[in-house]
Amino acid sequence: MRVASARARWFGVTLAVLLLDQLSKSAIRAALAPGESHPLLWDLVSLTFTENQGASFGILQGAGLPISIVSIVALGVFAYVTLFSDVSEKGLLFAIALAAGGIAGNLIDRLAQGAVTDFIDIGFWPVFNVADSAIVVGVAIIVAYLLRSSSRDD
């Protein structure tokens, strides 16, 4: 039963990230025109509606199909690891769920809109979204887990 509850939590986190991402992007598309920006938090953060047809940080512009294929493969790998492997570490499952929710959110944008909606603008960094944040945090935790695991094996 423990494994089933871990899987249910994984699905819940993935779904929560996906919903938060899609709802926030929908709100931005409804409230702002592309390129429009509204400052928040003493001009430290702005809501800036941009559309990204590439990958993170605007690289690989126009490579929507290859990026979509890689996203689908990554989601498959994450689903396999979570559902069929013996991975039981809660932190790693949480990280996979974060990354999967973010990947799914951006994939939906690519398939439905032809571009990913970005809107969180902190000035010195490329504009990003909730999905991007979840992917970065999730992958960072996964990398830390893998590095820690490999150092234990030595």
Query: Catalytic amino acids?
Result: 118, 132
Residue 102: CB atoms within 10 Å: 26
Distance CA 76, CA 78 (A): 5
Q: Is the CB of residue 17 less than 8 Å from the CB of residue 130?
A: yes
* Angstrom distances, CA of residue 76 to CA of 15, 100, 148: 15, 9, 24
Q: Closest Cα to residue 93, out of 138, 132, 137?
A: 138
Distance CA 39, CA 126 (A): 15
CA within 13 Å, CB half, 36? 8
